[in-house]
Structure 1
């Protein structure tokens, strides 16, 4: 009859070795513990070599005593890296609801442990198993798809769109949804539009130059291109200093027809380069009305003579009245909310120029939807 092999725990082996050192007699200690002297001697040899890492347990790696702490740290580091990898991939799906996370866990169950994914992503393992066993109803599938569409538009428009504009954008894309539904699902998803921030005015109107009357008189519409242009200047903070952005907007389609980014506030560095871009981008009409604030850049002889040369009529806002130039102010408000305030660190001049170009030329003039154009893009409005 074959001898039955006894199994000894790690703790028993360690205590047996320590007891043998204490008794100083391997044979007597082995007899007392009811183990073979040869086996106890083997345990002693192992302990002399590995110390605390001698008996890690079945299926675990035996390590040298000096490396035991390193081994444990490496193990914890590997676990942390795994959890971080799961979090990076799974966190992107948070705005789309729990069903999207359930799907992610199911799709990656061969890549990551299910329990770890559920723990990292804040999902109950039992609820995940239940969801996998019970398919979604048609109503739940529709709600999940609507949530995904809402979150897509919300982030596509840089988190500055509320329920009204999101509902209209989805309807334009062929998804029938009401404003109330968008509000309800946005609350469930925890989506909140970013709050507007105020910005300082850079206009210097304390001068003795000629001030044109306010001919525009807050009539912010035009029935033809190049009939009314409005302009303004704002500051943008960068590393260690400021840049100054000048824009010219055509009220017909709200397009930025001319713009310039400069490091100083002189006329030759602000409005003149923006004007030259504008006249190259659009044909001028005799009698074009050009409206701005009372800043020295617009009131000095260099620029006023340029307007006369092109047979333009100049108009200026009332003193201290930003509402008289509301379209330009609104653009700067959007620019700073959607671009400037979202920057986590101050950019270099080169980086800021690239960001402004991308925002104006590729976003604002092409893709952004404008309330004044009945929620059309500028390109859609002009077709």
Structure 2
């Protein structure tokens, strides 16, 4: 058992003064050479509770067993009593009401005026108000200061789970209002409503050999549906077992027209995705040089569907940037954003299915004139 350290009264008072000055517990411990952070927190709790006389007690449980000093120094007791009386007299009479009768606006103003003298906890206990109610009143007070435009931007950010940056939010706002993107950006930065999607990551992986040349050649634009398709497989390491997503995108509008989720990265996974395609002619299908795409079974099915094959160069994922970007957005805007790390297999699958539906039907894109893929396709028809 460690030896207990008895700190002098001066050290305890200096600790409280440093805490009042905004110093952290770590800084106080390093400056005053205090070994245990519990000591600093205990002295601070005694000060906040008006029990500064306890700073005089010796080490151990003398107070618990009735062996401590029975009488406080007279001047110390008077100082404690005066402090309590000053706090009571300093409270405005118009908030001397209990529970629901306390006016939220007046109480919030009172807490602000007493900052540094009394804590939020002490004031809430005095008026029998829960701290959660106080913080709710603070939020309501701040929200009343919002303008109509700020309320609209907040609603759009919340509805889209903070997946959009200021450009897309501006496009949505301009459906009913006229506002510049700079104004929207300033408002979103002011309140911390900026896009919360994590930085997208890519992993460069090369394949042993290529069978087909790169006929797509990074020409990702298409003027007709179902003429240029791209496909790829991505990992879904967010559940109790590793899953794989195989998807096919139409470059005409960026729509995901076929996808399969499986627990094996084999030829059956990509064939199942390929079988979902409607009948088509003179279509170009681009992929990387993965073994599943260079397999005999996959290429035979490609020929049967009269599809022309195209493949990225070795170790160059940018040649298939569109489908890579979609997979990165799927992970960033769902699993990374919501902190999903070890979910059940059914939740992982449902999350992917819901996102692809949202991506096709609702997620607007700048290159589509701020419309979703399906909206863009229907508008063209």
Corresponding residue for residue 354 of structure 1: 350
Shift of 1:379: 2.5
Corresponding residue for residue 326 of structure 1: 321
Shift of 1:156: 2.2
Question: Structure 1 residues 259 and 203, CA, compared in 2 at 3 Å: closer, same or farther?
Answer: farther
Shift of 1:263: 0.4
Shift of 1:123: 3.0
TM-score (norm 1): 0.60
Does structure 1 conserve the Cα–Cα contact (< 8 Å) formed by 2:284 and 2:310? yes
Question: Structure 1 residues 289 and 113, CA, compared in 2 at 3 Å: closer, same or farther?
Answer: farther
Picking from 119, 134, 140, the partner of 1:119 is 134
Does structure 1 conserve the Cα–Cα contact (< 8 Å) formed by 2:259 and 2:273? yes
> 1:168, 1:299 → 2: CA distance?
42
Picking from 164, 167, 170, the partner of 1:167 is 170
Question: Structure 1 residues 273 and 358, CA, compared in 2 at 3 Å: closer, same or farther?
Answer: same
Corresponding residue for residue 368 of structure 1: 363
> 1:232, 1:352 → 2: CA distance?
19
Question: Structure 1 residues 227 and 122, CA, compared in 2 at 3 Å: closer, same or farther?
Answer: same
Corresponding residue for residue 272 of structure 1: 271
Does structure 2 conserve the Cα–Cα contact (< 8 Å) formed by 1:290 and 1:313? yes
Question: Structure 1 residues 196 and 343, CA, compared in 2 at 3 Å: closer, same or farther?
Answer: closer
1:253-268 alignment to 2 at 5 Å?
A: 253-268=253-268
> 2:130, 2:359 → 1: CA distance?
45
After superposition, the C-alpha distances for 1:43-71 in whole angstroms (9 at most, x for unaligned) are xxxxxxxxxxxxxxxxxxxxxxxxxxxxx
> 1:200, 1:115 → 2: CA distance?
48
Q: CA RMSD in A?
A: 2.8
> 1:337, 1:323 → 2: CA distance?
19
What secondary structure is seen at the aligned counterpart in 1 of 2:230?
strand
Does structure 2 conserve the Cα–Cα contact (< 8 Å) formed by 1:255 and 1:378? yes
Corresponding residue for residue 155 of structure 1: 158
Indicate whether 1:179 and 2:193 are aligned. no
> 1:304, 1:327 → 2: CA distance?
22
Question: Structure 1 residues 150 and 114, CA, compared in 2 at 3 Å: closer, same or farther?
Answer: farther
Question: Structure 1 residues 144 and 188, CA, compared in 2 at 3 Å: closer, same or farther?
Answer: same
What 5-or-longer segments of structure 2 have no aligned partner?
1-98, 100-126
What secondary structure is seen at the aligned counterpart in 2 of 1:355?
helix
After superposition, the C-alpha distances for 1:228-260 in whole angstroms (9 at most, x for unaligned) are 110010001133321000000011111111000
Question: Structure 1 residues 344 and 262, CA, compared in 2 at 3 Å: closer, same or farther?
Answer: closer
Shift of 1:306: 0.7
Corresponding residue for residue 336 of structure 1: 331
Does structure 1 conserve the Cα–Cα contact (< 8 Å) formed by 2:247 and 2:256? yes
> 1:346, 1:185 → 2: CA distance?
35
TM-score (norm 2): 0.61
Corresponding residue for residue 193 of structure 1: 195
> 1:345, 1:265 → 2: CA distance?
21
Does structure 2 conserve the Cα–Cα contact (< 8 Å) formed by 1:234 and 1:245? yes
Does structure 2 conserve the Cα–Cα contact (< 8 Å) formed by 1:204 and 1:296? no
Question: Structure 1 residues 117 and 264, CA, compared in 2 at 3 Å: closer, same or farther?
Answer: closer
Picking from 279, 295, 298, the partner of 1:300 is 295
Corresponding residue for residue 216 of structure 2: 216
Shift of 1:214: 0.2
